[in-house]
Structures are given as structure tokens and as C-alpha cells.
Amino acid sequence: MSEEHPEDPLAESAGDQTPRIDRYTLLELISVHPPGEQFDGYRQFPTELWRGHDEILDRPVSIRLMRKDDARLNRVLGAARAAALVDDRRLLRILDVLDVPGNAGEQARTAVVSEWATGQHLADRLSGGGLFDPTVAVEIIVEISRALATCAQHDVGHGRLRPTCILWTEAGEIRIRGLAIDAALFGPIDPAAPDADVDGLGGLLYAMVTGRWPALAIDPQTVHIPLAPAAGRTVPMPSRVRAGVPAEVDDLVNRSVRQVARPRGAVPITSVEGFAVAAGSAIDYLAPVTTTQAAGVGSRLRTAAGNIARPAAAPAQQAIDDDLVDYLPRERATTPASFVRRGVSVLLAIALVFGIGWLGWQQLTSDPAVQEQQAAEQEEFSALLDTEAVPFEEDFGSGLTAVLPIQSARSYDPLGDDDGDGQPDGAEGRERNPRAVRAIDSDGATAWLTRRYDSPNVGRKGGVGLIVDLGSPKELATVEVGLVGFGTDLDIRVADQLLDDPDLWTEFASVKEAGPEITLRSPRKVTGQYVLIWLTGLPIISETSGTDDPRYQGGIRQVTITGLDPPEAFAGE
């Protein structure tokens, strides 16, 4: 992520005075994040991050400035409101949201104010090759995952975990910054991951023990540390990158990070709460249980540099006064008579124990109910021995899904009439078909766009869409769609052949007012070869909003589908 330091327009307008926004003074421009790609009806502009000062409460703050005509603003404001509801000391909290009026030389902007903490982030700690002890790394990830589990109780996720969002304060506390807002601005690190926070937690643990980020084909500047080496289409487990990494760390990582090689039979972690529980269990194996008070993570981090092995000083020899020797206990003398007395006592005790046990057994076995129970257990055991063996049937519905490869994509406009014959075109109808491949090219900067319509319901014809071909019938788990603009109504439908009527396709899921990223799951099992993304409502083009002739246009930037092959039937069954 590049950082620029242009002249500040607020400072120019204020002359020699320090720029201010209401009660907040802007002290230092930390970074400027350049805009992403722009589409029709979906525009982004640079955002600024400032270090500021709250004059009323006399405390440092962080101020994010973005233009009010930025297409991401509503999503960022929603994320800020949601994040402000979470109260956890480990989070850098949202404090305020302000409108910044524009002037002749500057657009109106919105300021999101949050806590400021002085310290060092994880990327800085790793940049010098300072790797973490695996046990300390797991303890840290437990703290982070528990904080995010608290957020999950409020239906809030971080969405973009990376080394630069984990901060250690000067007091040794762990703080997490960018809750929900970073993802609203820039999206997840791996859009194909089933759960961005689970994938991010595993990535942070991988980074702490190896110094590398477990991902392929991303810009290393996104995470500010080197990427893990590639092993085909995956990255190796931590123990194959750094010697001495315990199996518990490997298990946490390969069950959570999508692009790490996963051993056969490993059950994926599907929620932040599940990750926190699994990480807490790993501590039981990595850290011994003691009767002394364990030091906290912050204390261990502060004192790690000072834990250098030193030769222990020999304890001083205790001096014993010769006059006190007579008061020290003497060794008890042993005689043959004492051995006889001890032997008789032991024999009597054994006889007493056996006698009590025999009486108890007689009482139990004399009960008719006990005798019937014993007879039933014996009969059940005999039936088990006589039963024929039943072959084990593997459960293919265990949820071990993967990203399904997409063979091709084409547009779908069955209700259109491009040939002008007065009849709907059916399955042969296509709208801007040459651009359909842009939705599956793994490049989020390109997109398939619809035509511009004069009404949100696709020119009153009801819908238009895109069909992706999986090559063969698959059992679908999730469909993630990157959309152009805000406010798209869409249905996901599945079929094994191209049908003229979209209503004949099997419904997978539907959503209203979606954008720009949406992940859909079906409440039931759905299998098919073709997946239809059917747009039934289009967002308004921003530059036409408020005019006498509003126009509407939608689009699809990226499609990612997860699932698995349906179970094959055994021969003859």
C-alpha cells in the first residue's frame, strides 16, 4: 500500500492556523489511500488518515476523511455504526462521525473519528525477522480471536485482518484497529475465503511463526510482509517453512486458512467462536499447567527480551549451631518386634476390605433387577458377536467444501428481443456477452455490465443475468458475487441445462438491495451444473441521481462458488 503526502487542502484554507474539524485538530497526515477502479455508477476517491487531537477531552484520535460522493460512504457509515456498538478493551473504538462542509476548492467530506494508540504493529515486529515463539503466538491469537468472538455476538466482523491492524501499545496491550471499516473500504484480503475473519486469524498465526503471509497471487504490500512460498496451488504448512513449529499450530492454520495445504480428513473451522475454542485447546498442549499465577500475554511480551539464561547462584550453606544438635529429630530405631506388628496390621486391614467387598457383591447380585440387567447385557453382547459386519459409508455432507472451478460464463437475456421479431429470445438471448468473461477472470478491476435502463426493474422486462458453467453437476455450498454499485436485487438459481424461463431454474438464494460484496447460502442442498445470477433490480447511476432522467445499471465484477462433487453411487446400488 503506497503512502503519499500531498498538501492538505484544509491547511491551505486556514492559512497559518492548524486545520480543525469541529473539536478535533488535525496534526499529521499519516497516509493517503488511492481509489480503486471506477465503473459507471460506482466511483471511489482517495481517503486520508490523520493523527488528530480531541481538544475537549485532551486525547489523541485517528481521523479518516472520505468524500461524500464516494460510492463506499454508505457502507463505511454502516460499518462505523455497527463497530461503535461493540465494547471491548482490545478494540480501537469508533468515537464520532462528522460532516465536513465543502468550499470553493474542496468537496464535502465525512470524518470518522476513532481511538489512537501509540505502539508497534505486527508487520514492524516481523520485518526485522523477529519471529514469535509458537506458544506465545498461540496465546496472542487466542486474545485476538476472543475479541472478535465478542464482536460476532453483535453480528460485527473485522473482515480484513492483516499484520498492520494488530498493534502492541507501550503498555504491552494488544489492540485491534479497523473493525468493519477496513473491509468496507478495501474489501477482504482473500475474497474467496468462506469466512474472512477465520482466514485472517489463521493468517496472523502463520505470519507470527514464519514471518510470511499464507496467500498466493496478491500484492505483498497489502499485508506488508513477504508471501509464503507456493506449493502448487497452495502454500505449505508452517512446520514446512520453519523448523520446530508444533503440530497444534499446523492444525489451527490448515483448518482455517483457505490456501494452506489441508491434510485429508481435517475439519475446517467455520466461525470465529470455533477458532477461539480450538486455539484455547491448543494452549493446553503447548503450555504446561502450573499452580502458580500465569503471566499475561502483555507481561510476557514486555519481558521476553530480558529472559536470558543466567547461571543460578549457589544457595548459601545453612549454618547449624552445635548447641542445637540435641534438639534435631533422631532416626527411629527398628526392631524385629516392630516388623511383626506392622505385618499383622496389614493382614487385618486386607481381610477387612475383602470382607466388606464380598458382602456388597452379595447384596447387589441378590437383587432380581440387577440379575435381569446382567442377563440383558450378556444377550446384547452375544447378538453383537453374531451380527455381520456393515461396510462404513463416508459422509459426503461433512462440509469439506472447496472453491469450484468455473469453466465458462455467458450472459442470459431470455426476456429480451434483440432480433426484433416481437418474441422473447429465450435461452439464446444475450446481453453484452463478449464481456461476460470479465466476471470470472480473477481480476476485480474488470466487470460485466448491463445496459443502461430507464427503470430499476431492468426496463420492465423483469431481469437479466449471467450464467456460469461448472463443467459437471456440483453440490453448491456458497455463491459469492462482487457487484457494481449499491442496491442490486438478485436471485441465484441452478439447473443442469439452459432453460428458456428463469422461473424453471431451481432457486438457491435471493437478496434485495445488495452490494458490492455478497455471499449467499441455500437453506437446503442444491446440485447443478449451471449457476444463474439473475439481476431483477438495478442500482441507480450516481451522476443521474436527482435528475429528470435517472438511469439504472448493474454489473458483476467477480463470481466465486464453493461446494463439492456429489457422492458417487456404489456399483450396483
When mean pLDDT is compared across 79-88, 413-422, 465-474, the lowest value belongs to 413-422
DSSP string for residues in 391-415:
-----TTS---EEPPP-EEEEE-TT
pTM as predicted: 0.54
CB 537 within 8 A of CB 457: yes
How many CA atoms, within 13 angstroms, populate the side-chain half-sphere of residue 413?
A: 20
Q: Is 235 helix (H, G, I), strand (E, B) or coil?
A: strand
Residue 86 clears pLDDT 70, i.e. is over it: yes
Q: Is 161 helix (H, G, I), strand (E, B) or coil?
A: coil
Return the pLDDT at 381: 53
Q: Quick one: CA torsion of 479, 480, 484, 490, rounded to 10 degrees? A: 30
Question: What are the tens digits of pLDDT across the range 37-48?
Answer: 555 557 889 999
Buried b / exposed e over 491-522, threshold 16 CB at 10 Å, is bbbbbeebbeebeebebbbeeeebbbbbbbeb
Whether 364 maps to a domain, the answer reads no
| Pair 97, 134 in one domain | no
CB 191 within 8 A of CB 224: no
Whether 276 maps to a domain, the answer reads yes
Whether 345 maps to a domain, the answer reads no
| Pair 240, 135 in one domain | yes
Residue 359 clears pLDDT 90, i.e. is over it: no
| Pair 111, 124 in one domain | no
**C-alpha cell belonging to residue 206:** 502463520
Label residue 132 by pLDDT band (50, 70, 90): very high
| Pair 63, 177 in one domain | no
Which range marks the domain in which residue 458 is found? Answer: 402-564
Label residue 103 by pLDDT band (50, 70, 90): confident
Higher-confidence residue of 42 and 394: namely: 42
| Pair 263, 129 in one domain | yes
| Pair 143, 200 in one domain | yes
| Pair 138, 64 in one domain | no
- What is the mean pLDDT of the segment spanning 62-69? 94
Question: What are the tens digits of pLDDT across the range 511-549?
Answer: 888 878 888 888 788 999 999 999 999 988 888 877 888
Residue at a domain's end among 257, 274, 289 = 289
Return the pLDDT at 433: 93
Return the pLDDT at 100: 92
When mean pLDDT is compared across 76-85, 321-330, 385-394, the lowest value belongs to 321-330
Residue at a domain's end among 240, 261, 289 = 289
Residue 572 clears pLDDT 80, i.e. is over it: no
Count of domains for the chain = 3
| Pair 129, 233 in one domain | yes
DSSP string for residues in 420-445:
-SSS--GGG--SSGGGGGGGGSS-TT
Return the pLDDT at 522: 83
- What is the mean pLDDT of the segment spanning 12-24? 71
Q: Which of 208-212, 501-505, 508-512, 541-545 has the highest mean pLDDT?
A: 208-212
Residue 289 clears pLDDT 60, i.e. is over it: no
Question: What are the tens digits of pLDDT across the range 151-178?
Answer: 999 999 999 999 999 999 888 899 999 9
DSSP string for residues in 327-350:
GSPPPPP--HHHHHHHHHHHHHHH
- What is the mean pLDDT of the segment spanning 219-240? 91
Question: What percentage of the chain carries pLDDT values higher than 90?
Answer: 50
The CA-to-CA distance between both ends of the chain, in Å, stands at 57
**C-alpha cell belonging to residue 150:** 465478542
Question: What are the tens digits of pLDDT across the range 334-350?
Answer: 455 555 666 667 777 77
Whether 255 maps to a domain, the answer reads yes
| Pair 552, 530 in one domain | yes
| Pair 99, 128 in one domain | no
How many CA atoms, within 13 angstroms, populate the side-chain half-sphere of residue 163?
A: 29
- What is the mean pLDDT of the segment spanning 205-214? 96
* Mean pLDDT for all residues in the chain: 81
Q: Which of 83-92, 292-301, 443-452 has the highest mean pLDDT?
A: 83-92
Residue 136 clears pLDDT 80, i.e. is over it: yes
CB 502 within 8 A of CB 426: no
Question: What percentage of the chain carries pLDDT values higher than 70?
Answer: 77
Return the pLDDT at 368: 56
CA separation (Å) from 436 to 500, 504, 517? 19, 22, 18
Whether 52 maps to a domain, the answer reads yes
Q: What is the CATH number of the domain that holds 447?
A: 2.60.120.260
| Pair 477, 552 in one domain | yes
